[in-house]
Structure 1
Amino acid sequence: MSAHAVNGNAHRSRVGNVSSSNLPAAGPGRARQPSPEHLLVLLEVARSGRYTTAAQALGLTHTTVARNIAGLNRALGGRVLVRGADGWELTALGERAARAAEGVAEAMTALADGDSAADRVTGVVRMTTTDGFAAYLASPAVAALRDDHPDLSVEIVTVTRRAAQHRSGVDIEVVVGTPQVNRGRAVQVAEYELGLYGSRDYLARHGTPSSVSDASGHHLVYFVDSMLQVDDLDVPRRLLPGIRDALTSTNVFVHVEATRAGAGLGFLPCFMADRHPDLVRLLPEDVRDRLPYYAVVHPESWRRPAVTAVLEALRAEAARQRHVLLGGRSVSPA
């Protein structure tokens, strides 16, 4: 949901004229008719999870945004937002109000566009995903999508973590493993394989392991064990019992480059490692794992055409790269 779907200048001028002095009056114990301006402000706060971010997007002050939300609370007779760990979140009443706000935004857009066929894939879509997925799947997917929808903007924050039960300000979370979420809808986007790799120079100096026990005598390049939030990624330490850490990082690009530099054996996504001819895959039948990428789309985002378009673009790109994701080497060197 985004107030960016509304024609910007008209939206800002209408919202900016709202003040507590022109709120409609209501009798005791009776909810007032909610103001369209208040609903549009709620829509932007629901999208960003922050009053300050919503204020910047709408060309308002933080105080004006807060006043609009307070007015909507009074009009509806209850709270539309509650503060969560990651920002403001919609209550059940707020979700109803946000659905109504989408109708207001769409009507204003249709009015501004007249009889022209407006592109509905516009505005900002915010997503979180892992470093590798962002670089090699999300980036080409978004680039291709923007060829057809130039008014679309996508913000990507890279992080490796499990899906949140409640998280404001994010439309799509792409996570590793099957998510357990009560709110939102989870859709499998892709599947990928991880394998054990060593650089040619490293193997020349330290020998090429011919068995799991041989590999366990080397050192591992992988995630920081104490900071790993995704249980499904704790694979190499189980497959290679007794292996000790050499270099650990929260960033998978560091894993790839450290393995190339000879810091140890890296347990790497094949679609990243296979881009480098100086890396050799080791024991592919014994040390491997396949994991899914799931996209979790939050309820207030499902109805946005821009969000569903980004999701479909991600799935299409994953299908195009399926062979590479599952361990094929048909990729060009980086």
Structure 2
Amino acid sequence: MFDWNDVRFFLELSRKGRLTEVAKALKVDHTTVSRRVLALEKQLDAKLFESTTRGYVLTQAGERLLPHAEAMESQSAIIQDHVGGENRNLTGVVRLGVPEGFGSQFLSREVKHFQKIHPEIELEFVANDRFVSLSKREADLSITLERPKSGRLISRKLTDYTLRLYASRDYLDNHPPIQSKEDLKDHTFISYIDELVPDPQMLYLSEFVSNPNVTLKSSSIVFQFQAALAGAGLSIMHCFVADEYPSLVCLLPDEIEVRRTFWLNTPEDIRDLARIKAVTQFLTTLVEKKQRKLLGLIPC
């Protein structure tokens, strides 16, 4: 029988690819990582990794072992959660992958309420508009702009949300008036860098403006928002953020409106963990409570 503890080292190396990074994560010396992986290979009589210039990569044997090792990891967490006693159920770390705008400009303002209810749960937010890998444990939960098409995940619609076109009062005071979409040709825009957009759904400006004069681009929605707030141009922004700022004016709301959806994704094997269920319930309750704000139904 192989040593189950060696599987931890195998999993971390499969995810990080380098001995030094695994050693840092597990708080051991890198020689210990190498020794434990070699011990597992000897016990299983199989070569699990190839050493390359890019780091350690799984062999075919390693690929076959990976799903079983991940299942062992998940079962270990479930055992600790279920058997550890009621007082320990709502403890531990939950890492959540979130789109940048939703995480930094919405959840960051609401998370204090979760902390009051569950002070023993430590939350980690990974602000990223690209997919984070739940199978590689880059996060425990993820909120995405579209529903994942693969993976052993439970995906549910979290909420719809609305974006509209905004400009600062300072910008509007110094530029031609905007009364129709035709007037937009005389104005400058702030938007994404096309080739760096992680999801085509985010290229919404071209849906409403033909050949917009985009003079400022950023991969960060927070940068775009701050630039628009400072008067650098017009920008399509989340209503749940922009509507809170009196210095921003919503333009042509009946003609320019984008409706999108956030999806909440949970790996099947950890969905019943108490801390995962607590975070899921908090997010579900929060978006129900803030539905009008998310949909831009608060007068702008």
TM range (shorter): 0.7 to 0.9
**For 1:311 and 1:87, how far apart are their aligned partners in 2?**
35
**1:290 aligned counterpart, secondary structure:** strand
* Consecutive unaligned residues in structure 1, runs of 5 or more: 1-32
**For 1:182 and 1:268, how far apart are their aligned partners in 2?**
31
Q: State the Cα distance separating 1:274 from its structure 2 match.
A: 0.6
For residue 237 of structure 2, what is the aligned residue in structure 1? 268
Written as runs of structure 1 = structure 2, the 5 A alignment for 1:56-135 is 56-76=24-44, 78=46, 91-104=63-76, 116-135=85-104
For residue 34 of structure 1, what is the aligned residue in structure 2? 2
Q: State the Cα distance separating 1:187 from its structure 2 match.
A: 2.5
**Contact 1:78–1:93, Cα closer than 8 Å, also in 2:** no
Q: State the Cα distance separating 1:247 from its structure 2 match.
A: 1.5
Q: State the Cα distance separating 1:245 from its structure 2 match.
A: 0.4
CA deviation map 1:51-97 (0-9, x unaligned)? 555544543223323332333344345577899x9998884533223
**For 2:292 and 2:160, how far apart are their aligned partners in 1?**
10
Written as runs of structure 1 = structure 2, the 5 A alignment for 1:311-326 is 311-326=280-295
**Contact 2:192–2:218, Cα closer than 8 Å, also in 1:** yes
The aligned amino acid for 2:31 is T
Written as runs of structure 1 = structure 2, the 5 A alignment for 1:1-334 is 33-42=1-10, 52=20, 54-76=22-44, 78=46, 91-104=63-76, 116-140=85-109, 142-162=111-131, 167-298=136-267, 301-302=270-271, 304-329=273-298
**For 1:75 and 1:320, how far apart are their aligned partners in 2?**
54
Of 233-242 and 73-82, deviating more is 73-82
TM-score, with length taken from structure 2: 0.81
**Contact 2:82–2:89, Cα closer than 8 Å, also in 1:** no
Q: Decide whether aligned partners of structure 1 residues 104 and 166 sit closer, same or farther in structure 2, where only a CA change above 3 A counts.
A: closer
Q: Percent identity?
A: 25
Of 282-291 and 245-254, deviating more is 245-254
CA deviation map 1:250-277 (0-9, x unaligned)? 2222222211222111111111111100
CA deviation map 1:4-55 (0-9, x unaligned)? xxxxxxxxxxxxxxxxxxxxxxxxxxxxx13232245456667878755554
**Contact 2:165–2:252, Cα closer than 8 Å, also in 1:** yes
**Contact 2:9–2:22, Cα closer than 8 Å, also in 1:** yes
For residue 9 of structure 1, what is the aligned residue in structure 2? none
Of 171-180 and 252-261, deviating more is 171-180
**1:206 aligned counterpart, secondary structure:** coil
The aligned amino acid for 1:65 is V
TM-score, with length taken from structure 1: 0.74
**Contact 2:134–2:141, Cα closer than 8 Å, also in 1:** no
* Consecutive unaligned residues in structure 2, runs of 5 or more: none
**Contact 1:196–1:284, Cα closer than 8 Å, also in 2:** yes
CA deviation map 1:125-167 (0-9, x unaligned)? 2232222211244335543333333332222222222466965
**Contact 1:121–1:149, Cα closer than 8 Å, also in 2:** yes
Equivalent pairs, count: 295
CA deviation map 1:76-127 (0-9, x unaligned)? 45577899x999888453322333344455656788x5xx533223332223
Q: Decide whether aligned partners of structure 1 residues 195 and 139 sit closer, same or farther in structure 2, where only a CA change above 3 A counts.
A: same
**For 2:238 and 2:253, how far apart are their aligned partners in 1?**
12
The aligned amino acid for 2:234 is L
The aligned amino acid for 1:230 is D
The aligned amino acid for 1:286 is E
**Contact 1:141–1:313, Cα closer than 8 Å, also in 2:** no
